[in-house]
Chain A
Amino acid sequence: MRPEVPVAAIAHQADKLLSPDWAKVVEITPEAEGIATYWLELEDESLRQRYRFAHGQFNMLYIPGYGEAAISISSDPEKPDRIGHTIRFVGNVTRAVSRLKVADQVGLRGPFGTAWPIEQYKGRDVVLSAGGIGLAPLRPVIYEIYNHREDYGKVVILYGARTPKDLLYVNEFPVWEEKDIELMVTVDRADQDWTGQVGVVPMLFYRARFDTNNTVVFSCGPEIMMRFVVFEGLARRIPPEHIYLSLERNMKCGQGMCGHCQMGPFFICKDGPVYCYEELEPYFHLEDL
């Protein structure tokens, strides 16, 4: 069962769903080379008070003259007045974002998409499996667990990046671990200073210990990585209905109207980005989809 999610709280009128509202950059947190978290506050106070989002949803960020990009919300849903977006600077829009400074304006539409159904899994073990910037859409789930730690069983984060310098939120790792959230980190390549693991995220499943009969897996990262995460999860007899993935496609309208983000019968921006593997399974392994 999918959780109920806030739907484009900014624009209650249908004709406003495609027009952005303005937000101000209030803080910029550098996370890694070419990646930073932009903390935004909506300028309109009534909108700011009404704005809500769920774990795993995204906003469309707009820079005049450059266009829009779909960016996952990486902050705490319980603090919706300050919206965090962790952004990798890879294209025209995100490179324009990288030139923004505190107090600059950015257009914002959203929130859009489905959410991680974390609250349905209270009392269970939770495995969060993330690769690269895929940790960003999972961070709201970490906040939920952090804020309500007693509601969940064992919690394990399996996180991988290309190199130690590419790891996100490293300053928060000790805080998470203090709350009995087990963190297993690996990198693809490392120099001699790195005392952690070298390998890939699915490999961490060999080492993680959790109750497979009572576990939910949330995963976000490159699709190849998620294929192997699914493989490892199923191999440990975690049922497909307890595995959730967040997909990334070329999201444009956020309404399921333009078709840019279609995958099989789904429009990722509207039907996703978070899917239960059970519904995705017929399409997930198809090539060229």
Chain B
Amino acid sequence: MDQEKELIECLQAIPWFQSISEKHFSMIASVAKIVTIDRGEWLFKQGDKQESLYVVIEGRVSVELYSSVRGYLRVFTAEPMDVVGFSSVTPVVRQRTASARAVLDSRLLALDSAGLNRLCEQDHELGYIVMRRLANVAASRVMICRLQLVDLFAHPTGEDENA
């Protein structure tokens, strides 16, 4: 399959892009490319320059934080259709705040962050669609982090002491 056809098929498979106009679809395609990484390979590391926003097409990618004491801590796993590196399109964050690597052989759609931002500035309707989607991604990640922080399955001492 030639690369352009593969790219279009990948974009069409992503629900996010299924309801946008042809014009916006072409704009998105102009800043998109396909990347593949092997199991265990890093997609990016914390501190790297933010260059791309990714959508997982196939495989599985883990998002990890590094602690000098505990090493890499896996905090989230992105499955097909999940977004990785969403903060790269925010105006403030300049560096990767976490690392990402393939847990399985993976294929991803990479959207050039600067290019996507530029398109969103040029066409605010597209900007609204993109930012609305990213707000949804950010909200779900916050919810996941909160539940992880709560440590749902921890068993506090003293609870059910008579059980």
Residues on A facing B (Cβ under 8 Å): 67, 69-70, 88, 90-94, 131-132, 160-162, 166, 186, 188-192, 194-200, 202-203, 206-207, 221-222, 224-225, 228, 250
Contact = CB atoms under 8 A, between A and B. Distances in A.
A132 B159 contact: no
Interface stretch (B27-35, B69-77, B107-115): B69-77
Query: Which secondary structure dominates where chain A touches chain B?
Result: mixed
B104 A195 contact: yes
A198 B152 contact: no
Nearest to B163: A91
A228 B150 CA distance: 13
A94 B163 contact: yes
| For the complex of A and B, 5 pairs with smallest distance between CB atoms | A91-B163, A162-B153, A200-B147, A197-B77, A132-B153
Interface string B145-163: 0011011111100011111
A98 to B, nearest CB: 12
B15 to A, nearest CB: 11
A195 B75 CA distance: 13
B143 interface: yes
Contacts of B155: 88, 90
Given A92-B161, A131-B153, A198-B62, A188 B143 contact: no
A108 B109 CA distance: 57
B144 interface: yes
B153 A202 contact: no
Interface string B60-74: 101000000000111
A116 B60 CA distance: 34
A20 to B, nearest CB: 16
Contact of B143 (A190, A196, A202): A202
B140 interface: yes
B51 interface: no
